[in-house]
Every structure is written in structure tokens, then in C-alpha cells.
Amino acid sequence: MITSLSIKNYALIDSLQVQFNQGFSIITGETGAGKSILLGGLSLILGKRADLSSIKDASKKCIIEAVFDVTNYHLKSLFDANDLDYEPQTIVRREILPSGKSRAFINDSPVNLSTLQLLGEQLIDIHSQHETLQLVDDSFQFEIIDALAKNNDLLNNYTSHLKQYKLAQKELDVLLKFKAEAIKEYDYNTFLLKELTEANLVDGELVSLEEEFETLNNIEEIRESLSHSTQLVGEEEIGILSLLTQLKSNFKKISAYANTYQSLFERIDSSFIELDDVFAEMEKLQEQLDADPERLEKVNSKLLLLNNLFKKHLVSSVSELILIRESLSEKVSETENLDDRIQKKEKELKVKNDVLNKLSKELHDNRIKAIPELATQLEDLLKDLGMPNAKFQVSLKFGEAFYSNGKDVLSFLFTANKGGQFNELKKAASGGELSRIMLAIKSILSKYKQLPTIMFDEIDSGVSGEISNKMGQIMLQMSQYMQVFAITHIPQIAAKGHTHFKVFKEDVDNITLTNLKKLNHDERLVEIAQMLGGIEISSSAMAHAKQLLN
């Protein structure tokens, strides 16, 4: 419920602050006093687009702020979903800057208009005689039936399972699409995988293969070079090792005479050891060296194969080919396992489908039971509202598809006249009749679910005194369950409110301003008497006003 409203620098309002109570509040005022301005300011809080022309003083910003008690509205999940701080006393503020820029805040957190509208829908329902499109909307008609059928928990359960079902269906569609595409590539991927598998790829083998190829391909030159080298080093009389032995012997004789000679001796000895090791290695290589034309052919073939694979797959290393092989293996494996995965997903979908069908049937059965009660309540209320022949024909057909609220297809038909043909609401009812139907429906809904604050904007226009009296009584009954406002010109309705506000204009310093005042008992008596008989209050009007208030 709205507990307070503050409007600054908006249209004809300079500064207005008002506190609201629970129950049934009346707002009256002469035509043109500014009731529409009040509604316009309130609509900005609910997310309506701002208009720069609505700023009273173009040099200052316009600020509209409202405080709502949301304790009983179960809105914490909405706050959490929109990353807002949840407060039982929620403050909504809208600012229009002189530049034309608009800003909105919920509990001091900046929000965009869509978030403001989302919250606004849960806080206030402004209803005028011309705003009855909601009545012909399927989702609203289901909301009415489900409220009487007490389907709330069942609907939440259905919605949760429907979400899971749609996700599973989406996953199955992806698998089927992937299979259709994978089948086209399967044979080619299998061929590529076989080719790479048969290549017996070993990470790092390219370097060793190239070295082996060069060795085998130049074996005679290598053999000749090794033979000559071993002769140079190992020949008995003039070989390098023989000469180093003599050199080492010469320096060994004088090494004891000075450190310099000792150092040279050690270096020569070290060179001898290193060269002797080199000589042994050369002999070993010479012994191992053996021409192998068959091996040379194999190495050459492997290198040619690798180079061809490099070109085909646009890579330059064996490690990259191995990665491609692993990727192809996964793709081929996925394709081969797709049927199993699809079968499992189809079974999962079948289970979810069965659960949804069961829940849909429960929703359907509950609705079927609730429809007669809904029709009876509506028709009884409409009799009191001057529509004695109003009849509803509500039928449900259990359909094939899963909708957001079950599988039902709803037909909500109406006739206002005895023996009249049933038709859709928008075709069968006039604007005034639709307005009274909406009042009856909101009255019924208020008994079964927590509704937002409702503001009836002159929905009593054009109705007789007795019918307006019934309308006021219905609004008063609704206020037992929710906060109700009525903007009205009819004294019978105005007298039924728990609190009464008057919108009026006044001239201050040659400027016309709109203001809102809460009336006390005596002021209220005068206001209702003026509504009955005009500005000049007669004794009969005053007596009638007292009678209405009592």
C-alpha cells in the first residue's frame, strides 16, 4: 500500500505532501481542479515516460517520491532478481531535470524505466472507465479463474517443470541438429582420423627423423671423414694422441720447478683425456656406421608423409597434428555416441512431458470446478450494479500444447441482455458495462489474493444514484482486503470512504496552484453537501450529507 506521496514542481503543483491510510480513501474536487495532475504525477512513479512540459518551473527539477509498505506483497524475489535492496518500507523516487533528462530510484538505487514499471505493476493499479483492455486478455481471465481455483502453488510447480521441460527440449534439438550436421562430416572425419592414427605420430620425432635421414643419405662421406679423423688422432707414431703423450711427458719433467709449468702440464693432460674420449667416440661411431637402404627408404617415406600432413592440415609440427588427431577422435566418438545421448534425452523429455500433463490436468480440473462459482459471483454482483441480465459463458478446452499456465484454451463469453447472443467481452459489452464488470472482478479477486493498491478513476461516470451506491459498497468491501482509492463526483460513493481528500486550486501571488487536503468531519460534510446541491448549500443538502455520512 502507498503510505505517503510527495510531489514538487509538477504541472500546477508547487509542493504537495500527503499521508495515506489503509482502507477506502476518497478523492473529490471540481472539474479541472487537478485530479488528473495528481494521477499524472503518480503514473511517473509507476514508470510512465516523462514529459519536460510537465515541469512547473523549468529552471528547477521536478521530484515525485512515494513510500510503499510492501510487507505483504511477497516481492523479495523481484528485488533480488533486479539487484535491489529489499525494504518493507520501499521508497520510489522519480526526478525530471530541467535538461529533460529523467532519473528513477528504488530505495536510492538507480533503475531504468522497465524495472520501475515492473515494480509499479505490483504496487498500484490505476483503473478508469477507458482502461478495460485487461479484461479481454487471456492471461488476466486465467488469473481470475486460478484465484478462485486456488491454483497458485500448482501453477508455480507447473511453471518450474515447464522451464525444465523447455530446457530439455532445447538440448534435444541441439543434439538432433548436431547429429544432422555431424553425419555429413562423419565419413570425412573418420578418414582423416584413420590417416593420422596410421601415421603413428610421436611428438618431437621430426628432428630425429631428419637427422637419421641426413646420416643415412650421406653415409659414405661420413664414413670417410670418420676414418680419416681416427687416423689423425690414433696413428701410433704421428697421431695427435701420440704427439700429446710426448708433450705431456716433456712438461711432466719440469712441472715440479714452477707453478706455471705445473699448470701447463695439467692443461695438456686435460686435453689428452678429452681427445682420448673423442677418439673412443669416433671409433664407436665408425663401428656403428652401416649403410641401410631399406631404413633410409622408410625414414624418407615417413618424412614425406609428415610433410604432406602438414600441408593438408596447415600446420608445421607433429604436436599440432597430434592435437588435430585428438580433436577428430572426439568428434568421431561424439557422432558414434549421439544416438545413445539422443535416446536418453528423449526418455528424460518423456518423463517431464508426463509430469506436465499431470499438472496441466490438475489445473484444468480445478478450473472446471471454479468456473460455476466465478460465474455466479460475477452475475450476482452485476445485478447489484444495474446489469440484471448479465450472463457469462466460460468454457475450457484441454489442448495439445503446453502454455505458460497449462494446456487449457479459454473461452470467456458474455451477454448483457436476456436471450442475447454470447460474444467476446470487447464485442458484447459497452465501456460502462466493461467498467462495472472490471469492478466486480477486482472485488472477487481481492478476496482470494493479495492485490496491489487500486485507484478507481471516475468509473462511476454515467451511472444512477442507486447503482453508484452499490459501487461504493463494493469498493468499501474490497478495502477490507486491500487499499482502495476512488476519484469520484458522486456523493453516495464519497460518503463511504474511511478518509476523504479534496483536490482544489488556489491563487498564490497571482499563480494558480493545485493542492490536496485531507478533510476532517465538518469539512467532509460541507464537501458532500456541495456535491449534492452545489456551492450554495441548502439545509436539505446538509441533512442529506449527514444522512449519507451516518
Can you list the domains of the chain with their CATH numbers? 1-129+449-519 (3.40.50.300), 180-336 (no CATH)
86 and 114 in contact (C-beta within 8 Å)?
A: no
SS3 content of the chain, % helix, strand, coil (to 5): 60, 20, 25
Query: Which residues are 66's β-sheet partners?
Result: 5, 92
Over 90: is that where the pLDDT of 169 sits?
Answer: yes
| Residue 418 grid coordinates | 436476456
- pLDDT tens-digit readout, 170-203: 999 998 888 887 777 777 888 888 889 888 888 8
| Residue 231 grid coordinates | 687416423
Over 70: is that where the pLDDT of 49 sits?
Answer: yes
317: pLDDT confidence band, cut at 50, 70 and 90? confident
pLDDT for residue 118? 94
27 and 16 in contact (C-beta within 8 Å)?
A: no
- pLDDT tens-digit readout, 486-531: 999 999 999 999 999 999 988 888 888 889 999 999 999 999 999 9
Query: How far is Cα 40 from Cα 470, in angstroms, rounded to an integer?
Result: 28
- Selection from 405, 406, 412, 408 nearest residue 375 by Cα: 412
232: pLDDT confidence band, cut at 50, 70 and 90? confident
The mean per-residue pLDDT over the stretch 73-102 comes to 93
* CA-to-CA dists, residue 376 to 290, 387, 441, 484, angstroms: 109, 13, 12, 24
More confident residue, 338 or 9: 9
The mean per-residue pLDDT over the stretch 113-142 comes to 84
Burial class (CB in 10 A: 0-12, 13-18, 19+), 256: exposed
Which of 403-407, 457-461, 517-521 comes out lowest in average pLDDT?
A: 457-461
pLDDT for residue 283? 81
Query: How far is Cα 250 from Cα 243, in angstroms, rounded to an integer?
Result: 11
Query: How far is Cα 255 from Cα 300, in angstroms, rounded to an integer?
Result: 56
The mean per-residue pLDDT over the stretch 324-344 comes to 84
Vertex 209 angle, CA 208 and 212, to 5°: 85
Query: Which residues are 91's β-sheet partners?
Result: 67
Over 80: is that where the pLDDT of 220 sits?
Answer: no
542: pLDDT confidence band, cut at 50, 70 and 90? very high
Which of 130-134, 308-312, 355-359, 389-393 comes out lowest in average pLDDT?
A: 130-134
pLDDT for residue 156? 94
- pLDDT tens-digit readout, 352-393: 999 999 999 999 999 999 999 999 999 999 999 989 999 999
Over 80: is that where the pLDDT of 133 sits?
Answer: no
pLDDT for residue 115? 95
pLDDT for residue 153? 94
pLDDT for residue 231? 80
Which of 347-351, 389-393, 433-437, 467-471 comes out lowest in average pLDDT?
A: 433-437
- Find all residues with CB under 8 Å of 184, minimum gap 6, and list them: none
pLDDT for residue 131? 59
Over 80: is that where the pLDDT of 165 sits?
Answer: yes
| pTM greater than 0.75 | no
Write the DSSP symbol of residue 55: B
At 360, which amino acid appears? S
132: pLDDT confidence band, cut at 50, 70 and 90? low
3: pLDDT confidence band, cut at 50, 70 and 90? very high
Over 90: is that where the pLDDT of 410 sits?
Answer: yes
Average pLDDT, the chain: 88
Over 80: is that where the pLDDT of 215 sits?
Answer: no
Which of 159-163, 287-291, 339-343, 428-432 comes out lowest in average pLDDT?
A: 287-291
- pLDDT tens-digit readout, 248-302: 888 888 888 888 889 999 998 898 899 889 988 888 887 777 767 787 788 788 8
